[in-house]
Amino acid sequence: MTLHAWLSAILVQALVSATPLTLAGLGELTAERGGVINVGIEGMMLLGAITAFAVGMTGNPYLALAAAPLAGMALGLVFALATVVGRVDQIVCGMAINLLAVGISGTAWVALQNHDLTALPDAAAFHRLWGQQYGLTYVVAGLCVAWWWALHRSRAGIIVRALGESAEACAANGIAVRRWRVSLVLLGGACAGTAGAFLSIMDIQGFEPGMTGGRGFLVLALVIFGRWRVEGLVAGSLFFGALDSLQVHFQGLGFDRYLPYQAFQMLPYVAALCALAVLSRSAPGPGQLGRPYPARH
């Protein structure tokens, strides 16, 4: 293969890898701008992945794609009821959601195997379109523009941003704080669930337990990395997509003669850790991130 062919293969894979990160990131970013930090998106992605895979057994890819956000929203509802309504600590509850999703998806996976349903039927897999990308990648690109506009130019965007800075001020202006926050968490769950479906019925076209492999946690780092802005998130996702793509393609480039493949495997996580170390302090984030409302009963 020529250098040109390798470069284009890496670029294609970078966009594929960046798509679920961006999609889940949009949802997480919005929830965090509204004051709710959802550490459970890894679990919501995982549940979206197994749901899309299981529904894909029917042979209808669009049904599978539609079911995944519902699965993410179901977990989002549990999270929202516990944290926004029940005022449970958001981070601990998010970790519980992750464990919950591992349990559910693992159990479902075992049950599917008992019925010999282990490979996605060809009809249920999406195919690559123009530029070797899945259609969802273009949808996500469009969503980024719409999201930026909604967050900065619409009334709903103003409310979301205000919610994260002062829920009390919003309440004084007649905004139903908890109803808004529950909706934002559900939106985040839908995004994460769809991102999981992208992995199972498009990118990888299969399922294995724990297949999200920490992408949900990378997304959390990306939101900080992008300083809670859509354009920052997109830039970060593309960067991590490129890192991931290098990991996929490094063997073809002959890098494995110099470095073990595990070095590339850990690269995105080391980069995320470094990015957090550099940026966490200078980017404080929404003022009331993670704080329940009302502050006291």
Partner 1 sequence: MSARALRSIAVTLGAALLGIIGVLAGLWCAGYPPATVVPTWLAAAAGNELHLAGSLQQAGPLLCAGLATAVAFRANALNIGVEGQYLLGAITYVGIGVHVGHAPGVVMIPLLLLLAMASGAGWALIAFVLERTRSVPIVLSTILLNFIAVALVSYLIEGPLHDPVTSAPQTEQLAPGLRLPVLIAGTTLHVGVLVIAALAVVLWVAQSRTVFGYELAVVGANERVARLTGIRVERVRGLAMAISGALAGLGGALQQAGVTHYMSDGSVSYGYAGIAVALLGQLHPLGVAAAALYFGMLDSGSAGLERHLDIPHDVGDILKGVVTLVVLIAAVVQWRRRPWSGP
Judge residue 99's burial from the number of C-beta atoms within 10 Å of its C-beta, 0-12 exposed, 13-18 middle, 19 or more buried. exposed
Task: Supply 200's token pair.
Answer: 């199972």
Name residues contacting partner 1, limited to 259-288 (CB under 8 A): 260, 262-263, 265-266, 269-270, 272-273, 276-278, 280-281
Task: Tell me the C-alpha distance between 120 and 264, whole Å.
Answer: 29
Q: Is 170 or 186 the residue whose CB approaches partner 1 more closely?
A: 186
- Radius of gyration in angstroms for the set of CA atoms belonging to the chain, rounded to a whole number: 19
Segment 30-59, which members bind partner 1 (CB under 8 A)?
39
CB of 73 to partner 1, least distance (A): 18
What is the smallest separation between the CB atom of 83 and partner 1, expressed in angstroms?
10
Calpha distance 248→240 (Å, rounded):
12
Burial of 98 (0-12, 13-18, 19+ CB in 10 A): buried
Q: Which helix (H) or strand (E) holds 89?
A: none
CB-based contact 22:234 (threshold 8 Å): yes
Q: Is 248 in the site for partner 1 (CB under 8 A)?
A: no
* Residue 200: DSSP 8-state: I
CA distances for 276 relative to 19, 172, 217, 227, angstroms = 21, 35, 12, 11
How many CA atoms lie less than 13 Å away from 103 in the CB half-sphere? Answer: 7
Give 151 or 275: the residue with its C-beta nearer to partner 1.
275
Give me the least distance between CB of 102 and partner 1, in Å please: 7
Q: List binders of partner 1 among 207-226 (CB under 8 A).
A: 213-214, 217, 220-221
Q: Please say which residue, 83 or 183, places its beta carbon nearer to partner 1.
A: 83
Footprint of partner 1 on residues 62-101 (CB under 8 A)?
82, 86-89, 91-93, 95-96, 99-100
294 binds partner 1 (CB under 8 A): no
Q: Long-range contacts made by residues 2-6, C-beta under 8 angstroms, separation at least 24?
A: 6/249, 6/252, 6/253
Min CB(4)–partner 1 separation in Å: 31
- Candidates 5, 111, 123, 139; binder of partner 1 (CB under 8 A) is 111
190 belongs to the binding site for partner 1 (CB under 8 A): no
Tell me which DSSP letter residue 59 carries: T
Q: Could you give the CA distance from residue 214 to residue 153 in angstroms, rounded to a whole number?
A: 33
Least Å distance between CB 270 and partner 1?
Answer: 6
Q: Give 99 or 146: the residue with its C-beta nearer to partner 1.
A: 99
Binding site for partner 1 (CB under 8 A): 39, 82, 86-89, 91-93, 95-96, 99-100, 102-104, 106-107, 110-111, 113-114, 213-214, 217, 220-221, 260, 262-263, 265-266, 269-270, 272-273, 276-278, 280-281
